[in-house]
Amino acid sequence: MPVFFPVCALATTLAAAMPPPPVIRSIEAAPANAAVAQEAHAVIRGNHQFAVALYRELGKRDGNLFFSPYCINKSLSMTYAGARGATAREMASALQITLPQDRYPAAFLEARNAITRSLQASTGRFPGQQGGIEFLLSATLWGQRGHGFQPDFLGVLNKCYGAPLQEVDFAASEQARAAINRWAAAQTRNRIPELLSDGAVNAQTRLVLASAIYFNGDWTTSFSKNDTRDEVFHVNVRARSPVPMMRNVDVFGYFEDREAQVLRLPYAGNCLAMLVILPRQMDGLANLEKSLTGDKLWAWASKASDQKVHVMLPRFKMDHAFELRPALEQLGMKSAFVKGAADLSGMDGGRDKLYIEHVIHKAFVEVNEKGTEAAAATAVIPVPGAAPGAHEPPPIPVFIANHPFVFAIYDMHFGAVLFLGRVATP
């Protein structure tokens, strides 16, 4: 059973309205040059900001929360490549895109390659499985057969987003839906067996932009199942619930201030890590969420330094499904969903007045004790005893996640936020 098993898939479905007079405008692929590498950092910073902004919108509902801002960002960025006019401006604002539209795809590609390179350096292989890590990123366009999508649009998505075109006939909507669901299930190791539910596509659908992300990683230092036992989790100041609490004393990334304790738990290969942000106050999650920003999230991750920590963390498992349209509209992305107002003419030259019909996102996560034996053996660092007459060493930090907290999975080398969520009730 994997120690951390997050997976998500997302589909953006676009339908046709009455066709306007043809307007052919194509996106130009950004030239590869030294500036692209620097611009990749702007993509990742936008990823941080978008992740937290979307967290605030999705987090308005009570309870647990889990989603992949990276997966969502990728699918919407693919859509943005075909957006024009006010629709493109709204999407750029919602996605926190600061680069010119013609340069953004190449910068996104460089950011994706940077994650790939760091994974290759730590595991020796990507994509696939090696040394306790399996991490897959995938995307595909499912387009209406014979629709006539712009070659430039298809080229950019294939080159910069790794999303080739698969032609289907949406008039046979059930067969098309089944094909997309089989793809999503295969890309997520069957953790998302049905991305599209009944009625999600129909004869008016012209394009589904689907992306999936899968991660299965062992801790560098595992938690012993023998040390796990039930403890009280304070859901709020009045409600309590017994939960299986994992325990470990070892070297982890740690930082604390008056607002929160921050714990970094690396996965095998020391490329990806979970960041757990625990409010100081039992009922402090709401205030922490209000003050959270993308820059603050990254600052906390950067300040966590390796030291010995006594950790108590609950096991948890959750899955979520979202229709993201309401949240995205709140972030300012409005016209893309309006028939007759959306301008996605960069996709097909305006032959059909495309608009976004659905943005569907599903995610699954499970956290438990397991870690790789080799990494666990090498990660145990003995603490020498004090010499006679020496001062007693300072007490090690104690991190007890027995009340609601925020957590993120991110790439430690480049900073991409792959998954984000909160545990309100394990």
Q: What is the pLDDT of residues 220-276, one digit of tens each?
A: 888 889 999 999 999 988 889 999 999 999 999 999 999 999 999 998 888 889 999
Choice between 200 and 279, residue whose per-residue pLDDT is larger: 279
| Cα 77 to Cα 82: distance, rounded to the nearest angstrom | 9
Residue 25, pLDDT score: 26
Contact (CB, 8 A) for 365 and 318: yes
* Tokens 């906390």, residue located: 300
Confidence at 65, pLDDT banded by 50, 70, 90: very high
95, with CB counted inside 10 A (0-12, 13-18, 19+), is buried
Residues of the chain with CATH 2.30.39.10: 225-314+372-423
- Per CATH, the number for 7-217+318-365 is 3.30.497.10
Helix H or strand E segment including 16:
strand 7-17
Residue-wise pLDDT tens digits, 105-140: 999 999 988 887 777 665 544 444 445 677 778 888
Contact between residue 372 and residue 37 where contact means Cβ atoms under 8 Å apart: no
What confidence category does residue 24 fall into, taking pLDDT thresholds of 50, 70 and 90?
very low
Express each pLDDT in 334-377 by its tens digit: 999 888 898 999 988 887 788 888 888 888 888 887 522 221 11
Query: How much is the pLDDT for 312?
Result: 94
- Determine the Cα–Cα distance for residues 169 and 206; give it in Å rounded to an integer: 9
pLDDT at residue 322, rounded to an integer? 87
Cα–Cα distance, 76 to 163 (Å, whole number): 13
Q: Which two tokens stand for residue 290?
A: 């209000």
| Confidence at residue 272, expressed as pLDDT on a 0 to 100 scale | 87
Q: What is the pLDDT of residue 408?
A: 94
Helix/strand/coil for 214: strand
Under the banding of pLDDT at 50, 70 and 90, the label for residue 19 is: very low
User: Average pLDDT of the chain?
Assistant: 81
Rounded-to-integer distance, Cα 29 and Cα 33, Å: 12
Q: For the whole model, what pTM was predicted? A: 0.85
Q: What angle do CA 214, 365, 190 make, to 5 degrees?
A: 50
What pLDDT is attached to residue 421?
94
Measured at the CA of 338, the angle between CA 337 and CA 341, to 5 degrees, comes to 120
Which residues are CB-contacts of 141 (< 8 A; sequence separation ≥ 6)?
A: 78, 154, 157, 163, 164, 165, 166, 207, 208, 209, 210
pLDDT at residue number 420: 93
**Which CATH code of 2.30.39.10, 2.30.40.10, 2.115.10.20, 2.10.60.10 fits the domain covering 225-314+372-423?**
2.30.39.10
CA atoms within 13 A on the CB side of 325: 15
CA dist 73 and 137 (Å) reads 13
Q: What percentage of the chain reaches a pLDDT higher than 90?
A: 43
Residue 240 tokens read as 């309590």
Place of tokens 């960041």: 275
Which pLDDT score is estimated for 34? 62
Residues 6+ apart with CB under 8 A from 140: 163, 164, 165, 166, 183, 210
313 contact partners, CB below 8 Å, separation of at least 6: 223, 245, 246, 263, 265, 276, 367, 399, 401
Listed in order, the ranges of the chain carrying CATH 3.30.497.10 are 7-217+318-365
Q: Confidence band (pLDDT; 50, 70, 90) for 404?
A: very high
Bridge partner list, 217: 4, 133
Determine how many CB atoms are found less than 10 A away from the CB of residue 367.
25
Given pLDDT bands bounded at 50, 70 and 90, which one contains residue 328? Answer: very high
Q: Angle CA(107)–CA(98)–CA(340) in degrees, nearest 5?
A: 100
